[in-house]
Amino acid sequence: MINCRSAAELERLARVNALVARVLAELMGAVAPGTTTRALDRLAEQRLVEAGAAPAFKGYHGYPATICASVNEQVIHGIPNDRKLVEGDIVSIDMGARLDGFYGDSAVTVPVGRISPEAERLLAVTQAALERALAVVRAGARVHDIGAAVQQHVEAQGYSVVREFVGHGIGTSLHEEPQIPNYGTAGRGARLAEGMVLAIEPMVNAGKAAVKVLSDGWTAVTKDGSLSAHFEHTVAVTATGCRVLTLRDQAVAEAV
């Protein structure tokens, strides 16, 4: 069953997701050569706790940290550590939070200093793929319209969509129905309805689609060593489109 949230529930989801967006914006600003992903993780946890929220990933199936920080060929679920980021790296930061019983989830891939034109293009294409996915969301659309939009854009640019990990419904649990693959056939899958809340998260590899999980049991990397990017927004389905609950501009606007 896919949950449809009441107006009151949507406001609670809006609050936790705005918090996630605001903290993610601060983390983006803290990314620089010499910074460690552990420092980003500490900052993230501190900000969530200050706001009365809890990290959503920490303890989830034993995951040990507040954020996932995935560098270069790491696709997702990179565990924060003391390795210093260096100019030219890209780092995907994924963060989830729980506040007042509801969950928020968002991710962004950030350049560390100046990066190669190829890395710039990967970030732009992945972000555009997420935007194209959001553009097809509305009551009456189908779940696989989302993946079809992502896949079409990514493959037209010569990149690959990761198949092993998917987006998801989100609400009073971090992961709810439906699963939202980043590939598929438009017109297929469950019909979207007003009040559904979805975390849409394309993961895009510059090279081939295949990934493997490292021996830490978490870090997913591209098999061919190519760069990978990840952008994620949590959105609420409306009659005519969607409300992006993790919009960072709005989060910054509300924060000042």
Interaction site with ligand MF3 (CB under 6 A): 57, 60, 63, 68, 77, 94, 105, 107, 168, 199, 201, 232
Report the nearest approach of ligand MF3 to the CB of residue 113 (Å): 25
105 binds Co ion, rule: CB under 5 A: yes
Could you give the angle at which helices 7-30 and 248-255 cross, rounded to 10 degrees? 90
Q: Between 89 and 105, whose beta carbon lies closer to Co ion? A: 105
Sequence-distant (6+) residues with CB within 8 A of 51 are 19, 23, 99
57 binds, among ligand MF3, Co ion, none (CB under 5 to 8 A by kind): ligand MF3
162 binds Co ion, rule: CB under 5 A: no
User: How far is the C-alpha of 122 from the C-alpha of 143, rounded, in Å?
Assistant: 25
Q: Between 226 and 246, whose beta carbon lies closer to Co ion? A: 246
45 binds, among ligand MF3, Co ion, none (CB under 5 to 8 A by kind): none
13 binds Co ion, rule: CB under 5 A: no
Taking CB under 5 A as the binding criterion, the range among 70-78, 180-188, 198-206, 246-254 that sits at the site for Co ion is 198-206
Residues in the chain: 256
Report the nearest approach of Co ion to the CB of residue 134 (Å): 15
Q: Is 173 exposed, middle or buried (0-12, 13-18, 19+ CB in 10 A)?
A: middle
> How many of the chain's residues bind Co ion (CB under 5 A)?
2
**Which of 150, 199, 204, 245 is close enough to bind Co ion by CB under 5 A?**
199
Owner of token pair 């975390």: 199
Tell how strand 176-180 and strand 197-200 pair up: unpaired
SS (H, E, C) 26-73: HHHHHCCCCCEHHHHHHHHHHHHHHCCCEECCCCHHHCCCCEEEEECC
Binding site for Co ion (CB under 5 A): 105, 199
